Structure 1
Amino acid sequence: MTTIPTPPSTGSIADSVRNLVHQKQGPLTRELLLEPGGFGLGRVPVRSRPTDTTDMVCGYCSTGCSLKVHLKDGEAVNLSPNPDYPVNLGMACPKGWEALTVLDSPDRATTPLRKNASGRLEPVDWDVAASTFVDRFRAIQQQHGPDSVAFLSTGQMPTEEMAFLGAFAKFGMGLLHGDGNTRQCMATSVVAYKQAFGFDAPPYTYQDFEDSDTIVLIGSNLCLAHPIMWERVMRNPNDPRIVVVDPRMTETAMNATQHLAIAPKSDQSLLYGVARILIEKGWIDRDFIDAHTNDFDAFAEFVQPFTLDRVTQETGLAADAIEEFARTIHKGRRVSFWWTMGVNQSYQGVRTAQAIINLALMTGNIGCPGTGANSITGQCNAMGSRLFSNTTNLLGGHDFANAEHRQKIAGILGIPETVIPTENSWAYNEIMEGILRGRICGLWVICTNPAHSWINQNLARDILDRLDFLVVQDMYHSTETAREADLVLPAAAWGEKEGTFINSERRIGVLKKVHRAPGQALSDFNIFRLLASYWGCENMFRNWTSPEAVFQILKQCSAGQPCDITGIHDYRMIDERGGIQWPYSSQVPDDRQQRVLFEDGKFYHPDQRAKFLFEEPRPLSEAPGREFDFILLTGRGSASQWHTQTRTKNSAVLRKLYPEHPFVEVNPADARRLGIRPNDWITVRSQRGQMRAMAFLTPAVSPGQVFIPMHYEETNRLTDAVFDPYSKQPSYKACAVQLVTATG
């Protein structure tokens, strides 16, 4: 690890900023923002007539839709979906339509805020903010060691900003521990792909939704979570059979050919039982298995105990429904398997995801249009975070523990190899546990809201309260985590900066500046530049002059990797081609707009074979009992809500499209038994906390189960802090609760 750098020298960029700030009265406004090479948003770079348009990718979910932004005098005034983009084909969900509205919220953070002696946040200028950041974190490191400060990042910033953060924090500040909120949504799929394929490589393109004749959705409510993807399913000309595996009758399940309402977290048993049927019937692709996979015979032996009797008992499904599922897979000529958070957010998510991968491999449904074992991502740039954030992977999907990888990246960046950590960071949950144990004393939170989103919320807030120093960098000053902070750094939002996102299908899209950030808010990229200067390591990042300059650096880091993007010239090329899927190597360019992986049957393990991985399923981590006699399910509540509602609640239009108050879905039979009437306020209680919610009676949930949307602040008072042993992803989806009525 590197030693702690010295303060910035005289004549540095930081001195220039100080001089500019001290010369002005009031906020750090346009003179600095428009200064060439300055730290602000800069002039909106889109050259336009009085009315014009430009295209850019949306900043909400991982679908990666393109929006046509309408400009007046270079400023965004409206938007519409891009009809020519290969992702959304002229469609947009409610969140996309309202993407500009939330930028003008009164909750925007417009100036740095520092906690005063009375414990209240008060405005300060950037010089004070940056100096405080350096002084406090450096003091903690000097007292407790360099590893006593950590950072928590995001899947919602441009790739170039994520890379800058990870490089500055680990190579400049000397931190070891930093993770992203993608741990909460995608870590399971990352580990499942790495172990099975040899690299984190979702193999599909959205065209597969239209090319499949059989679509299997497991733990995925595509209608609400990814409505544009569902629209692609609706465009399928093959009259596909759609199988939905989900405990709840979701909007997606209502439109399915077959809905398998399994008992919560019994997916593995079902998938192993189906695999046994396929093997027993000879409905497998033995040629593909023998030529391109390892360990199938061991897997075939492993699934033998998963008889119909066992699987019906563990899943609650009828035997003929399970057999029909297997028959549907067999009859399909192009079968695609899809999963999302219902699988990922589980205490055994990795092995469940690999049970899905096993089905695709054993039936040869991979590497061809309309097939694949396909993980649908959550956040707009979770894929960028997975490959280039420098958190769990060294830049470009490399390995911190690999000496050759460290040497390669150090050479590209022109930095000493000794500043690159030789071991992996703690995962998100381990960082939180490190705070609890007094090992982490300072925390920098960027573009995420753990006081709302982290599992077992009451404990999470108690953990954050134990920090000596908490910095929150966000576009809003009002998030639950920002209200806990000692220092708040105001950040520009989507549409107020530039860079690239990588969507679920590996497509790189361009983000542009079309709106001015309010007040003193700066792009995250320029905040990192500023802090690196104050920390005294600006020379390490002398070539990191702009997001596009960093993109060129990341291209070099990707060379020779499965995610190689060395063939992409610049942002203009990405824009003109409607996004570009990785890999796009300068050695083997492929100009097809839609590309699936593994067409040649070669995977990324050294022997180029995929692996069958499997493990005995485990029971629910918290089963219902006498006192807590219901299973709580959580998930997406509406197509117009997004995660912690930090942005969507700031749109009056979006607020009208979902219930204002938290609600809990209760089966009518349970409601009659407990005397619950429609719209009654009831208390939902777990061993960790409780919340009040309005009762919504519906047969969409089975007796003994209830459902609450993930978006409401109170929901994570209930969830249980258990984690997958391989991915360290939290198990948000199922825990034991009780319902308490006003008279109960």
Structure 2
Amino acid sequence: MMKLPAMTLREWDGPLTADLVREPARFGLGQVPAHLLPDAATKAVCGFCSTGCGLKVHLKDGAAVNLTPDPDYPVNIGTACPKGWEALSVLDAPDRARMPLLHGKEVDWDTALKYFCDQMRAVLDKHGPEAAAFISTGQIMFEEMAFLGALTKFGLGMIHGDGNTRQCMATAVTAYKESFGFDAPPFTYADFEESDVLVFIGANPCIAHPIMWQRVLRNKRNPQIIVVDPRATETAMAATQHYAIKPKSDLALLYGIAHLIIRDGGVDTSFVEEHTTGFDEFEKFLADYHPARVSEETGISVHRLVHFAQTIIHGTLRVSFWWTMGVNQGHQATRTAQAIINLALMTGNIGKPGTGANSITGQCNAMGSRLFSNTTNLLGGHDFRNPRHREKVAAATGIPVQRIPDRPSLAYDQILKAADEGTVKALWFVATNPSHSWIDQNEINRILDKLDFIVVQDMYCSTETAKRAHLVLPAAGWGEKDGCFINSERRIGYSPKVRRAPGQALADFHIFRLIAHYWGCEDLFRAWSTPEAVFRVLQRCTEGQPCDISGIAGHEMVQKSSGVQWPLSKDDAAKFKATTWKERRLFEDGKFYTPDKRAKFVFEAPQAIPEQRSTEYPLVLITGRGTSAQWHTETRTGKSAVLAKMIPQELMLDLHPNDAAPLGIREGMPVRVISKRAELTAKARLTTCVRPGEVFLPMHDPRVNQLTHASFDPHSRQPSYKHSAVRVEK
């Protein structure tokens, strides 16, 4: 029989009756949380994207019945995108995973957990600690992802595990670490409103982060809005300047702008001399990036290049630079992100209101993954290879230091390569759907079919990856469990449990506790009894780090303060006032996290695009967000009837009329899109939003990543989804 550890009502996954809510002691449970009282309301942070909006969840008899945007939350200030409004409805989908599935048949938890342990232990015992790996996610609470990373590496004895956040933000992490000394996005959302010039590079916040765009629209400084993007996106249409560069020529463009800033006297020399290193070498490197060369490589005229540079070099202006997947998902993405950072540094646009080199994250808890997933970083932004870091984390967690690996995991693509080569035999996927989302989809599915053991832990049993699994573990979703997320501006936000999960689905946290129990390593995690208990453990791990959160007085403080941005050390906590510290930025003192406290200029010559256009494949395929009503593989958003009315009912290919005419393609005509790897059928949408020679497909359709070419940034190991060669036929 399965034995559940003692629980409080907050953790209870059974039926939530009125009697149980009012008299939990009768059922052997702890005190009822205030947010579960009948006919009440509570506050939560949205569980979709990295914006981290505040929502008011309205309750009746202790269960959520409706929600509205929170007017007092400093992120969204009473607004929400379509996904947020529909966050509850998608929990009622008929394809929710309600029972464990073993080879497609329902089994009880006892059978499922014994099978998990038997199969995983057999793989590790026979082939060693590198033979099994996990793929985590930016969709679960950071207390849960920390538990997963600790359980697998400290308890089960695995070496390797990465996250689907590798697809969205690994580039920004790598760039910040090398340039600033730590993964430290410096901004706060107030900077959207306080800039004189906002530069968006490979970012379309109108669609991808609409609430952030609302913050831009609140800007009363009459700002210049510059967009660098091959497509005329919704954000580009609203901009004052749009630079429709050739796909993946952004690195050359940024070097060309830096060249012009130096030429025209726009460098903040005092900031550069006092707070940076490497500028002299960077200046010499830039000598070759004269306007004529950059114009040829980017397709932007010399006159417009000069206008771009002139817009941002006036010393009295506040300039903020923003980027997201259009930069991060590239074959030379890390150096491109650092070219943006270089522009902010050389003009002194950092650490002040309305400035910054600002990476916008993708998933709701991708920032939590960066600090606490225990994958390529040890908990709290530490280094597996550093003995002092291992000893510190051991002391903070109570885990014997000899159980902590002395090397980081392989990256996602390297784990898959090892699986293809036969080194990795088992994979455990948690709240992610790589059979849809991973680049060159047919290749990953071929590799998955070779594995001895696949486990999928998800809310839904119908995902493309779950259908390939030997074992499916049914998980609770957002609103059915409690814990914290960290959004793009480093704000830790709390989300409570406001309803029970269907069937026998359990919170990921409790699944991990049960696996520890069945594996026989539960004594290692005796202190990891609740999400808040893990929060306390993680506070100790961050002490003294740039991301120090030791001054946060638990979940209650996070709730009452409308979220808390890291860092907040014990020393800072004494002067913390939620009303005046709602939004804080980094580097106001000009000191960075490098040994010499100086930011570093990092640069490298542009490299050729891995897959070039050819006579057979003459078009460049760009992929990206489709609408604000869609989210990633649509595992959740696809369940909403309301959201379904806001998206095209068929896959649409954006094609320029000049490319369509010679092919005899008319508006709405079915077309074939063909790459070296696969083909699909879509409907043609003739538009000048794409340039001649380029086409666009939304990434949400399950077929699109059959076409994409698998190339990876060598530093971040992030896939490049933004440049594949294709042809189009009637």
Q: Is 1:79 the equivalent of 2:67?
A: yes
Structure 1 residue 280, shift from structure 2 partner: 1.1
In the alignment, is the contact (CA less than 8 A) between 2:670 and 2:682 conserved in 1? yes
Query: Which whole-Å CA distance do the structure 1 matches of 2:430 and 2:91 have between them?
Result: 18
Q: Deviations over 1:634-661 (max 9, x none)?
A: 0000000000000000000001100121
- The answer to whether residue 49 in structure 2 is matched with residue 61 in structure 1 is yes
Deviations 1:597-622 (A, max 9, x none): 00000000010000000000012211
Partner of 2:222, secondary structure, is: coil
Which whole-Å CA distance do the structure 2 matches of 1:169 and 1:400 have between them? 15
8 A Cα contact 2:16 2:499, kept in partner: no
Q: Do structure 1's residue 468 and structure 2's residue 447 form an aligned pair?
A: no
Inter-partner Cα distance in structure 2 for 1:187 and 1:471: 24
The one-letter code of the counterpart of 1:226 is H
* Structure 1 SS opposite 2:473: strand
1:276 matched to 2:251: no
Equivalent AA in structure 2 for residue 651 of structure 1: S
Query: 1:140 — aligned with what?
Result: 123
Partner residue of 1:16? 3
Scaled by the length of structure 1, the TM-score of the pair is 0.94
- The one-letter code sitting in structure 1 at the alignment partner of 2:635 is T
Aligned match of 1:212:
195
Task: Specify the SS of the correspondent of 2:696.
Answer: strand
User: How far, CA to CA, are the matches of 2:538 and 2:289 in structure 1?
Assistant: 46
Deviation at 1:663, TM superposition (A): 1.1
Q: Provide the C-alpha distance between the structure 2 equivalents of 1:673 and 1:246, rounded to a whole number of angstroms.
A: 26
> Closer, same or farther in 2 for the Cα pair 1:43/1:645, shift >3 Å?
farther
8 A Cα contact 1:109 1:475, kept in partner: yes
CA distance in 2, matches of 1:144, 1:580: 44
Q: 1:152 to 1:131 in 2, by over 3 A?
A: same
TM-score for the superposition, normalised by structure 2:
0.96
Tell me if 1:310 matches 2:293. yes
Paired residues of 1:17 and 1:127 also in contact (CA < 8 A): no
Q: How far is 1:48 from its partner?
A: 5.0
Counterpart position of 1:705: 694
Cα RMSD (Å): 1.9
* Residues 252, 294 of structure 2: 8 Å contact kept: yes
* 3-state SS, counterpart of residue 710 of structure 2: coil
> Per the alignment, in what secondary structure is the counterpart of residue 478 of structure 2?
coil
Say if 2:439 and 2:721, in contact at 8 Å, map to a contact too.
Answer: yes
For residue 724 of structure 2, what is the aligned residue in structure 1?
735
Q: Which residue of 2 aligns with 1:726?
A: 715
Q: Residues 179-328 of structure 1 correspond to what in structure 2 (within 5 A)?
A: 179-328=162-311
Q: Deviations over 1:263-304 (max 9, x none)?
A: 000001011011011111111100000000000000000011
Listed as ranges, the gaps of 5+ residues in structure 2 are: 8-12
Please name the residue that 1:446 is paired with. 430
1:654 equivalent in structure 2 = 643
Match of 2:337 among 350, 353, 359: 353
Unmatched 5+ stretches in structure 1? 1-13, 21-27, 116-120
The answer to whether 1:379 aligns with 2:387 is no
Query: Secondary structure of 2:621's match?
Result: strand
Q: State the shift of 1:50 in Å.
A: 3.8
Change (3 A) 1:547 1:698: same
Task: Please state if 1:555 is matched with 2:539.
Answer: yes
Q: Secondary structure at the match of 1:77?
A: strand
Deviation, 1:15, is 5.6
- Choose the corresponding residue for 2:503, options 516, 519, 522: 519
Please state if 1:112 is matched with 2:100: yes
The answer as to whether partners of 2:36 and 2:63 remain within 8 angstroms in 1 is no
What displacement does 1:572 show? 1.1
Deviations 1:460-503 (A, max 9, x none): 11111000000000000000000000000000000000000000
Equivalents in 1 of 2:384, 2:168: separation in Å? Answer: 22
Contact map agreement 1:41 1:497 (CA 8 A) in 2: no
Q: Secondary structure at the match of 1:142?
A: helix
In 2: Cα distance, 1:320 partner to 1:146 partner: 58
Q: Distance in 2 between matches of 1:36 and 1:44?
A: 7
SS at match of 1:203: coil
Note the alpha carbon deviations across 1:175-230, whole angstroms, 9 max, x for none.
00000001000000000000000000000000000000100000000100000000
Q: Is the 8 A contact 1:502 1:508 kept in 2?
A: yes
Distance 1:30 1:48, change over 3 A: closer
Residues 44 and 514, structure 1, Cα contact 8 Å, conserved in 2:
no
Equivalent-residue separation in structure 2 for 1:269 and 1:286 (angstroms): 23
CA distance in 2, matches of 1:29, 1:411: 35
* Residue 84 of structure 2: aligned partner: 96
SS at match of 1:171: helix
Asked if 1:152 is matched to 2:135, the reply is: yes
| Conserved? CA contact 2:14–2:500, under 8 Å | no
Q: Residue type of the partner of 1:174?
A: G
**CA distance change for structure 1 residues 416 and 239 in 2, over 3 Å: closer, same or farther?**
same
Quick one: structure 1 residues 243 and 403, their matched pair in 2 at CA, closer, same or farther if it must change by over 3 Å? Answer: same
- How far apart in 1 are the matches of 2:5 and 2:281? 66
For the residues of structure 2 that align with 1:527 and 1:699, how far apart are their CA atoms? 50
Q: What is the distance in 1 between the residues matched to 2:283 and 2:4? A: 65
Residue 544 of structure 2 aligns to which amino acid in structure 1?
G
Query: Are the equivalent residues in 2 in contact too, given 1:632–1:708 (CA < 8 A)?
Result: yes
Aligned to 1:23: none
Letter in 1 for 2:72: D
| Residues 81-120 of structure 1, C-alpha deviations (whole Å, 9 max, x = no match) | 00000000000000000000000000100000001xxxxx
Distance 1:358 1:548 in 2: 39
- Contact 1:397 / 1:558 at 8 angstroms: preserved in 2? yes
- CA 720–541 in structure 1, closer or farther in 2 if over 3 Å, else same: same
What is the alpha-carbon distance in structure 2 between the residues aligned to residue 41 and residue 291 of structure 1?
59
Pairs within 5 Å for 1:638-677: 638-677=627-666
Instruction: Write the deviation string for residues 553-604 of structure 1: whole angstroms up to 9, x where unpaired.
Output: 1101010000000110011111111110000011223431111100000000
Distance 1:17 1:500, change over 3 A: closer
Count of residue pairs the alignment pairs up: 714
Displacement, 1:30?
4.5
The alpha-carbon deviation at position 49 of structure 1 amounts to 5.1
Aligned residue number for residue 623 of structure 1? 612
Contact 1:70–1:77, Cα closer than 8 Å, also in 2: yes
- C-alpha displacement at 1:416, in angstroms? 1.3
Partner of 1:7: none
1:52 CA displacement: 2.0
Helix, strand or coil at the partner of 2:130: helix
CA distance in 1: counterparts of 2:635 and 2:391, whole angstroms: 40
In 1, Cα distance between equivalents of 2:704 and 2:130: 32
CA distance in 2, matches of 1:384, 1:19: 27
2:683 is matched with 694
Distance 1:681 1:584, change over 3 A: same
Q: 1:690 Cα shift?
A: 1.0
Deviation at 1:19, TM superposition (A): 14
1:145: how far off?
1.2
User: Which among 653, 667, 685 is matched to residue 678 of structure 1?
Assistant: 667
Q: Does 1:405 align with 2:389?
A: yes
Question: Deviations 1:126-151 (Å, cap 9, x if unpaired)?
Answer: 00000000000111112211210000
Q: Within 1, Cα distance between the matches of 2:384 and 2:589?
A: 30
Distance of 2:570 and 2:408 partners within structure 1: 30
Cα displacement string for residues 61-95 of structure 1 (whole angstroms, at most 9, x for unaligned residues): 00000000011111100000000000000000000
Alignment correspondent of 2:10: none
Offset from partner CA, 1:311-350 (integer Å, 9 cap, x none)? 0100011111110000000136100000000000001000
Q: 1: distance between equivalents of 2:284 and 2:117?
A: 58
Report the 3-state secondary structure (helix = DSSP H, G, I; strand = E; otherwise coil) of the residue aligned with 2:288. coil
